[in-house]
């Protein structure tokens, strides 16, 4: 039985829901964030607020929440070509993928997470990737996660499990999952403190949280919220 986990934690809705889920199931949970030159770097700041809010509002989880780790992988921004790392308009590329796709990002994140989990003695890596209601990223697919789990386990010569709690649910169901885990208190905390907007907008407040209201991430979060509230 697995008792420890490392959650890839950006400070957004998805990773916060995954963190809450991990805290409800594992005895020790650590978090890992990445700086990669993202335009919405504000997510790095809200991570600490979200962790503190979780401990304050859910004291039963506080003793389980361990260290937070932050790694700099700005080599991703040096590769260029993504609207998440450059001041370019959001658009579709010739290959059919949105230009918010950062090639290799999740592959690199999981490789580094595997190395950290190895050093920290953590058994499970939790990531909020999703194939049901996502932006078309190939490195979010279930097959990719299974391949990475095998590669890490072989390459590190230690059994590591990659869990993807959101893989087969959409954004409305992600809101519902948060409610099952922590009721209105967790949903309200996610609305108020997490960050999703690709433009890093923490000025405009909507029913579903802060954001520009027009970027792809805001559109997805808003649509999920409206389906969740209308259910």
Annotation: binding site for ATP: 9-19
* Residue in 189, 167, 165, 170 with CA at minimum distance from that of residue 231: 170
From start to end of the chain, where are the E strands? 4-8, 28-35, 65-72, 124-126, 161-163, 205-206, 209-210
Q: At 69, give phi and psi (nearest 5°).
A: -125, 145
Residues flagged as binding site for Zn(2+): 197, 212, 215, 218
Q: Are 122 and 4 in contact (CB under 8 A)?
A: yes
d(CA 1, CA 9): 23
Could you tell me the two tokens for 109? Answer: 């994140």
Question: What is the helix (H) or strand (E) element at residue 155, kind and residue range?
Answer: helix 142-156
Distance between CA atoms of residues 178 and 201, nearest Å = 23
Which residues carry a binding-site annotation?
A: 9-19, 197, 212, 215, 218
Cα separation of 65 and 46, whole Å? 17
């Amino acid at each position: 039985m697995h008792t420890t986990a490392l959650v890839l934690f950006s400070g957004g809705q998805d990773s916060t829901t995954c963190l809450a889920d991990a805290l409800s199931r594992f005895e020790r949970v650590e978090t890992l964030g990445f700086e990669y030159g993202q335009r919405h770097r504000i997510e790095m700041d809200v991570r600490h607020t979200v962790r503190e809010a979780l401990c304050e509002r859910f004291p039963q989880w506080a003793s389980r929440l361990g260290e937070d780790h932050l790694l700099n992988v700005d080599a991703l921004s040096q590769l260029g070509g993504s609207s998440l790392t450059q001041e370019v308009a959001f658009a579709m590329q010739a290959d059919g993928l949105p230009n918010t796709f950062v090639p290799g990002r999740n592959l690199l994140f999981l490789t580094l997470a595997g190395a950290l989990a190895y050093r920290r003695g953590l058994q499970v890596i939790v990531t909020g990737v999703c194939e049901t209601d996502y932006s078309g990223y190939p490195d979010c697919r279930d097959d990719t996660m299974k391949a990475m789990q095998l590669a890490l386990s072989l390459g590190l010569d230690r059994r590591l499990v990659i869990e993807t709690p959101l893989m087969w649910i959409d954004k409305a169901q992600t809101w519902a999952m948060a409610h099952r885990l922590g009721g209105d208190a967790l949903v309200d905390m996610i609305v108020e403190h997490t960050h999703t907007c690709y433009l890093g907008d923490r000025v405009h407040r909507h029913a579903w949280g802060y954001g520009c209201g027009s970027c792809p991430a805001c559109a997805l979060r808003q649509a999920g919220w409206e389906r969740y509230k209308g259910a």
